[in-house]
């Protein structure tokens, strides 16, 4: 069981007097507290420390934690350059990189990114899958590539990652086609469904798709992205999450909860809610802390760390099926 944390790289999560260089100390603190992974997200429409830049800094300042993207948007970068950047981070970290990717969402949280990147919106999922195929080919030593979107008759010798074949690549998404593609092509799954039952059913579909493709189901890491705020005072925790949802997305908490896993309240309440996802099959949880300054982020991180042993224990203890709870 792995418990990771999303670093607050977006400026919306910093206070007026915060220094973004403290993100490096934040990552080191999380590692020392027992978090097994440090993730960053990717965007073009809000100020932030760029994802791969942040991971490069963490590669040099941490020693054991997995370094991940949740999720990287490959279409923002030229594919050969992105492959070299990822391989470089993997080398500098000693093989600790995991790359979760996505194709973006309809509306203001996705389509404008394509316009800014001069990449067409149609066929974005097929483009994403081919990009991943290209990366893996490069990391395995390919010198040519001929696909639908990318054509290279001669590729110079590319930077090879720490491990043969490159870092694990996960897919973020929970549509029926995303589930099938995860089972067929990817090394992990990183969704954020509001209902643990949907997580369980999605994972079942992924396993079926993997089996149909001749892949072992244990080749796919079942991960989860969840936003958490811990406070013994439930009303205060809800208010903090409401403020976070508005500042980060311009949405109400009720709107955010219709699409994303969101948990508030006391440590016991948070522990119990996460346990339901563990029972549904997740084995790598990436927690986003709902706080809007780095001091509060550190405080939430320390509270969350006290729950790590309990979640590890829950993953090792047989659970009743969700239908019996």
**How far apart, in Å, are the Cα atoms of 144 and each of 44, 137, 151, 300?**
31, 9, 8, 48
pLDDT along the chain (325 residues), means of 10: 97 93 98 98 91 98 98 96 98 98 83 89 96 98 97 95 96 96 98 98 98 97 98 98 95 96 98 98 98 97 98 77 46
- Please answer whether residues 101 and 41 qualify as being in contact, where contact means their C-beta atoms are separated by less than 8 angstroms: no
Q: pTM to 2 decimals?
A: 0.95
Q: Looking at residue 45, what is its pLDDT?
A: 79
71: cis peptide before it, omega within 30°?
A: yes
Q: Looking at residue 324, what is its pLDDT?
A: 45
Distance CA 265, CA 275 (A): 15
Could you tell me which residues are beta bridge partners of residue 165? none
CATH no. for 2-316: 3.20.20.30
Q: Looking at residue 318, what is its pLDDT?
A: 57
Residue 157 burial (10 A CB sphere; 0-12, 13-18, 19+): exposed
Q: Looking at residue 325, what is its pLDDT?
A: 45
Q: Looking at residue 319, what is its pLDDT?
A: 56
């Amino acid at each position: 069981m792995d418990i990771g944390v999303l670093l607050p790289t977006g400026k919306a999560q910093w206070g007026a007097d915060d220094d973004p260089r403290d993100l490096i100390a934040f990552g080191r603190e999380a590692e020392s507290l027992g978090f097994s992974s440090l993730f960053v997200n990717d965007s073009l429409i809000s100020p932030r420390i760029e994802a791969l830049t942040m991971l490069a800094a963490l590669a040099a300042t941490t020693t054991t934690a997995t370094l991940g993207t949740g999720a990287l948007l490959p279409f923002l970068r030229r594919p050969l350059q992105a492959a070299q950047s990822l391989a470089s981070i993997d080398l500098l970290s000693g093989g600790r990189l995991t790359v979760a990717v996505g194709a973006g969402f309809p509306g203001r949280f996705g389509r404008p990114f394509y316009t800014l990147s001069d990449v067409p919106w149609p066929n974005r999922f097929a483009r994403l899958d081919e990009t991943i195929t290209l990366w893996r080919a490069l990391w395995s030593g390919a010198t040519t590539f001929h696909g639908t979107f990318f054509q290279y008759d001669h590729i110079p010798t590319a930077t090879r990652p720490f491990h043969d074949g490159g870092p694990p690549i996960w897919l973020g998404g929970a549509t029926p086609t995303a589930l099938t593609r995860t089972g067929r092509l990817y090394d992990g799954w990183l969704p954020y469904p509001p209902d643990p039952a949907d997580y369980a059913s999605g994972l079942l579909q992924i396993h079926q798709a993997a089996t149909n493709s001749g892949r072992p189901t244990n080749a796919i890491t079942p991960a989860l992205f969840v936003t958490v705020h811990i406070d013994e005072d439930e009303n205060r925790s809800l208010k903090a999450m409401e403020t976070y949802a508005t500042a980060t997305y311009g949405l109400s908490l009720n709107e955010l909860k219709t699409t994303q896993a969101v948990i508030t309240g006391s440590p016991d309440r948070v522990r119990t809610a996460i346990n339901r996802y563990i029972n549904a099959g997740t084995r790598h949880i990436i927690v986003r802390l709902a706080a809007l300054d780095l001091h509060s982020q550190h405080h939430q991180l320390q509270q969350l760390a006290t729950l790590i042993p309990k979640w590890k224990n829950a993953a090792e203890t047989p659970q009743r099926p969700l239908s019996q709870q």
